[in-house]
């Protein structure tokens, strides 16, 4: 099924969820299709607002919103990293609305003027197969420094920065913690412990599930899913700090359904909306401190989150990836 047909199918199915609204809320969603559907269905069930959803990945969504600037066809952009929403604001594609629930979000999870609010966050983490490490007599790592231990030689999988935004987040995280030169020295030291650099940002958790590797590095959802399914997996947040992605939402400029758009922002940033996302087993971490991600999952105030400048990250991506290719792979 091609992307256009699939988008129409998802749109039709969500519209049929129906509500009491005279006009369905049109949402361009860049959250993955499965999780978009369950989250927005929970919204409709809770509020009675019908949703007409079109699934678009981040780049195509931004391009489409910009192309429709003079005749908006959607009301809300739901999902995509917060830096995309910052760009949309700069291009005057969105409008301000400060939700009454914004006080429940820390500064990194909202725009100060209300141009975007976070939906969820995914920190970087280590996924650890405790059973395999125990068989090898190797300890569970708790820090980036620990990962360079020769005991883990050839045992770690992580994505490649050449193809994965997740891996680029690792570079940015280490750069913030150590400084750029020290970060690349560290990655060169770590390289012998890497079993493989995967093309996909989520492939390491798949390898973890089948025991192909006992240690994996990526964003948390894949690890939390394995843990929930009963795998002997521990989710570790490095003590020095971890980078994180923030998925956000914006109300589009020129929306014809502003009241329902505000209702979606209010619901998603409320404790009830965040809890509904957790109950739907999306494995995303909530952005409110008063909502628990689940038994045994660290709350955000227990994780040392490392921020980096989105503009710097965008402008220096090619340079840093090229340096990684030369210094780490080419050593």
Closest alpha carbon to 172 in 310, 15, 22, 26: 310
Rounded to an integer, what distance in angstroms lies between the CA atom of residue 287 and that of residue 108?
10
Half-sphere exposure of 329 (CA within 13 A, CB side): 12
Q: Could you state, in order of their start, the residue ranges of all structural domains in the chain?
A: 3-121+246-297, 123-243+304-329
Q: Which residue has the higher pLDDT, 119 or 83?
A: 119
Please enumerate in sequence order all residues whose Cβ is within 8 A of that of 185, keeping only pairs 6 or more positions apart, or say none: none
| pLDDT in the model for residue 137 | 94
- The secondary element (H helix, E strand) that includes residue 215 is strand 215-219
Fold of 3-121+246-297: D-Maltodextrin-Binding Protein; domain 2 (3.40.190)
| pLDDT in the model for residue 12 | 41
Q: What is the pLDDT of residues 250-273, one digit of tens each?
A: 999 999 999 999 999 999 999 999
Strand positions, DSSP E, 24-130: 25-29, 51-55, 76-81, 94-95, 117-129
Closest alpha carbon to 294 in 225, 222, 205, 218: 225
204-213 average pLDDT score: 97
What's the predicted TM-score (pTM) here? 0.83
| pLDDT in the model for residue 258 | 98
- Model confidence at 299, pLDDT cuts 50, 70, 90, reads confident
| Mean residue pLDDT across the chain | 92
| pLDDT in the model for residue 2 | 46
DSSP string, 271-305: HHHHHHHHHTT--PBPSSTTS---TTPPPGGGS-B
Mutual angle of helices 180-190 and 165-178, in 10-degree steps:
120
Give the C-alpha distances (Å, rounded to integers) separating 128 from 28, 133, 143, 175, 216.
35, 8, 12, 24, 7
| pLDDT in the model for residue 22 | 59
Closest alpha carbon to 183 in 191, 175, 172: 175
Tokens of 157: 């999988």
Domain 3-121+246-297 and domain 123-243+304-329 have a common topology:
yes
Half-sphere exposure of 226 (CA within 13 A, CB side): 26
Rounded to an integer, what distance in angstroms lies between the CA atom of residue 267 and that of residue 99?
9
| Residue 18 clears pLDDT 50, i.e. is over it | no
Tokens of 144: 């980036």
3-state SS class at 31: coil
Which DSSP state fits 98? -
CATH class of the region 123-243+304-329: alpha beta
């Amino acid at each position: 099924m091609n992307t256009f047909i699939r988008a129409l199918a998802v749109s039709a199915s969500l519209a049929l969820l129906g509500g009491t609204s005279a006009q369905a809320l049109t949402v361009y969603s860049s959250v993955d299709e499965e999780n978009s559907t369950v989250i927005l269905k929970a919204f409709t069930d809770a509020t009675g607002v019908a949703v007409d959803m079109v699934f678009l990945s981040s780049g195509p969504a931004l391009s489409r919103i910009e192309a429709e600037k003079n005749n908006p066809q959607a009301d809300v952009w739901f999902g995509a990293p917060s830096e995309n929403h910052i760009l949309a604001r700069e291009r005057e594609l969105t409008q301000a609305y400060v939700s009454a629930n914004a006080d429940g979000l820390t500064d990194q999870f909202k725009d100060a003027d209300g141009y975007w609010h976070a939906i969820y966050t995914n920190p970087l983490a280590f996924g650890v197969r405790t059973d395999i490490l125990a068989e090898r007599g190797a300890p569970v790592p708790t820090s980036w420094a620990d990962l360079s231990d020769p005991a883990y030689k050839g045992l770690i999988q992580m994505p490649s920065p050449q193809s994965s935004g997740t891996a680029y987040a690792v570079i940015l995280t280490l750069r913030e913690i150590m400084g750029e030169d020290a970060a690349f020295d560290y990655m060169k030291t770590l390289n012998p412990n890497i079993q493989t650099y995967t093309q996909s940002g989520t492939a390491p958790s798949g390898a973890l599930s089948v025991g192909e590797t006992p240690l994996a590095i990526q964003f948390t959802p894949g690890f939390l899913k394995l843990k929930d399914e009963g795998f002997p997996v521990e989710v570790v947040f490095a003590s020095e700090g971890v980078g994180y992605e923030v998925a956000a939402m914006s109300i589009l400029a020129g929306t014809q359904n502003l009241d329902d758009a505000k209702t979606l922002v209010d619901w998603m940033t409320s404790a009830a909306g965040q809890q509904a996302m957790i109950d739907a087993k999306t494995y995303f971490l909530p952005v409110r401190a008063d909502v628990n991600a689940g038994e045994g999952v660290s709350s955000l105030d227990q994780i040392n989150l490392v921020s980096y400048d989105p503009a710097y990250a965008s402008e220096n991506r090619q340079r840093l990836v090229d340096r990684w290719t030369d210094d780490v792979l080419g050593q």
